[in-house]
Amino acid sequence: MGQIFAGLSFTAVFLAIAIAMMRRRKAPRIVAILMFIAGCGLVGSWFQGFATRIASVLPGALVGFVAVICAVGFFLDCWGKQNKAGKSTAIIGFFVPLLLTVMPVSVLGINPNDLVQGVRDITQQAQVVNPGHRN
């Protein structure tokens, strides 16, 4: 439960900074990157569970198409000296990390929450072997 609050507080800090910079119309590329970082805090929170349920109902091709278009559009808008980053890029950037983690649910039928739980189970079952002392 502590990880959820840590992720959402992480999101809140970067989101507040990005919104303040967006209102002042300063450094649109940095605002878009800050929004992307804020969106990374949503991964693993209850927002991801909510988005996963929605994605599991929608057709896989639609979710995959939207995720790829948003991710490619975001990165191309922020890339290079002639970037086109603006408010729309920043808003899309906020949802890109969530879309990329939810996309496997619809496209491949893999639930990321089950995958994370499987990895946690395996790491908890692993035991640390301490070498014996030789005389």
Return the pLDDT at 134.
60
> How far, in Å, are 109, 126, 128, 130 from residue 133 at the CA level?
49, 22, 16, 9
The answer on pLDDT for 76 being more than 50 is: yes
Rounded to an integer, the average pLDDT of 111-121 is 65
* Overall average pLDDT of the 36-62 stretch: 81
Task: Retrieve residue 84's tokens.
Answer: 């086109």
pLDDT at 6: 55
- The pLDDT assigned to 123 comes to 63
Mean pLDDT of the chain: 76
Going by C-alpha positions, the residue among 33, 43, 39, 103 that lies closest to residue 68 is 103
Helix axes 46-57 and 87-107, enclosed angle (nearest 10):
60
Please choose, from the candidates 111, 40, 113, the residue with its C-alpha nearest in 3D space to the C-alpha of residue 71: 40
- For residue 120, what pLDDT is reported? 66
